[in-house]
Amino acid sequence: MKTILFTGFPGFIGMRLLPRLLELHPGTHVACLVQEKFREAAERSLGALQAGHAHARGRIELVAGDITLPGLGVAASRAAELRRSLWQAWHLAAVYDLAVTRVTKGQGGMPSFADKLEAQQIADVAQYVVESTGG
């Protein structure tokens, strides 16, 4: 099964985009990167989303992580699973800290989302979509 890595859930855009993505790509599964501090809200939002969209049931999972951490803060075992099935990456999350700057590889500061995917060796995706001000 193909997997979409998705950041920005349970945000406004993510809640509306996920059902459509799953409708367009029936053979896919979505791994939503969610900070632990937002897990409870994400679980409630996931329940509401699945209640309103039968085609989404059982196809979305919440993965603990953080776009500001090395390797996205994804556990090594889960990153290995993603490497095997990752097809697309949708980056909708934002960093709401004006002191954080986006940088390229080899510089100080916060690496880009693509750099972090590469660090986890999961950068080989068919499509990579960024809709974020947060790197």
- Going by C-alpha positions, the residue among 117, 99, 63, 85 that lies closest to residue 2 is 85
pLDDT of residue 17: 93
CATH of 2-130, one of 3.40.50.720, 3.40.50.11060, 3.40.190.10, 3.40.50.300: 3.40.50.720
Angle at 97 between CA 96 and CA 100, to 5 degrees: 125
pLDDT < 70: residue spans in the chain: 94-135
pLDDT at 23: 96
Query: How high is the pLDDT of residue 108?
Result: 42
Q: Model pTM?
A: 0.77
Domain residues of the chain, as ranges? 2-130
Provide the sign of the torsion angle of the four alpha carbons 54, 81, 33, 129, taken in this order. Answer: negative
